[in-house]
Structure 1
Amino acid sequence: MLLWINGPFGVGKTQVAYELHRRLPGSFVCDPEHLGFALRRMLPEPMRGDFQDLALWRRGVHEMLDSVVRGFDGTVIVPMTVVEPAYHREMAGALRASGHDVRHFALLAHPRTVRRRLRGRVMPLMRGDSWAVQQIDRCLEALRRPEFERHVATDGRTVPEVAELIAREAGVTPAPSSDGRVTHYLRRQWVSAKHIRFD
């Protein structure tokens, strides 16, 4: 099974993905952003832009996920924002057409909530009208469309609660969480720190 965790930048996809990974024994997180940033580094400056617009990236993501799901006997978790329906079909749709069990979840929240989460995850010097903040409304509007179901409202829900909801919908049983408030906070900060992008 492949769990695709979609949503606007900053809504909590990576946090939810790693919470699921921690609590689903034998699972694996496969992040297509790594391929995107690698491709950007291999291109001259004038050719750089949104790597999702590169057909090479979309083909690469499909081929990579197809290989991982075929060769790995566990749940594959993919935290990746994709809001263009055609791109979504090219990757998730093509994986389904190949016979893979792809469960897609779009994490949604009020724009105010997403902005607050973005402010909480980035370093102070990187705050302000960042590119991610500028994409919030566009992403939320696109992801509310029927083709991006299943929609998961995250306002007022903790990361473990969202992960458990997704697990139930997907028919898998996560291990119970014994985290207290401090452990949960430290775990979230560690995941955020590991995924700071400087590209």
Structure 2
Amino acid sequence: MLVWINGPFGGGKTQTAHELHRRLPGSVVCDPEHVGYGLHRTLPPSLRGDFQELPAWRTGVVEVLDLAASRWDGVVLVPMTVVEPEFLDQTVGELRRRGHDVRHVALLARPDTVRRRLRGRALGRTLAAATARSGFAPGESFALARVEHCLQRLRGAQFAEHLDTDELDVAQVAERVAELCGVDLRPTAGRVRGGLQRRWTALRHVRLG
């Protein structure tokens, strides 16, 4: 099974994927952003736009996830924002056409909830200089500007299953995703340990631009 966790930027996709990974034995997290970052590194900075616009990104993501889902015995967890129906069909749809059991869940919330989560991201001391003027890392500003656009698109029928997360914490979101996908999770690590694990996950996935 491949579980694609969609949602707006700052909607909790990465945290949910890693919570599932910690509580779902044999699972693995495969992040399509790394394919995009690799493509960016091959281009001059002035040509680095939205990597999802590159056909090579969509093709590369399908090839990588096709390999992972074919060769890995456990559940493959994929945290990735995709809000263009055409791009969803070329990734999730293509993987299904190749015969994979792909479960898609879009994490939704009110715009104010998403903005609050974005502002509360643990960016760490290494971002102090980068955020001195705006208060946000470059990626955070981009995410804030696209909150309404992402949520509007993701509420479309083609992006189901939908999961509203306003009143849920990360552990509860993971449990609801697992329930929708029909998999059983281990118990939580406990409030303190779970909080430390989620903080570490946030720090590991800080993006400087």
TM-score range, shorter chain: over 0.9
CA distance in 1, matches of 2:109, 2:135: 20
Equivalent residue pairs, number: 198
Aligned to 1:191: 201
Aligned AA for 1:160? A
**Shift of the alpha carbon at 1:65?**
0.3
CA deviation vs aligned residue, 1:65-104 (integer Å, no higher than 9, x gap): 0011001111000000000000000010000011100000
CA distance in 2, matches of 1:87, 1:160: 29
Aligned to 2:34: 34
Percent identity, please: 53
Give unpaired runs (5+ residues) of structure 1.
none
TM-score (norm 1): 0.96
TM-score (norm 2): 0.91
Determine if contact 1:119/1:127 at 8 Å carries over to the other structure.
no
Aligned to 2:77: 77
CA deviation vs aligned residue, 1:16-49 (integer Å, no higher than 9, x gap): 0000000000000000001101111111123210
Superposed CA RMSD: 1.3
Determine if contact 2:122/2:199 at 8 Å carries over to the other structure.
no
Aligned to 1:149: 160
1:1-199 to structure 2, matched below 5 A, reads 1-123=1-123, 125=131, 127-128=135-136, 130-180=141-191, 182-199=192-209
CA distance in 1, matches of 2:113, 2:48: 30
Determine if contact 2:5/2:80 at 8 Å carries over to the other structure.
yes
**Shift of the alpha carbon at 1:122?**
4.5
Give unpaired runs (5+ residues) of structure 2.
none
Which deviates more from structure 2 when the two are superposed, residues 140-149 or residues 165-174? Answer: 165-174
- Partner-residue secondary structure (3-state), 1:130: helix
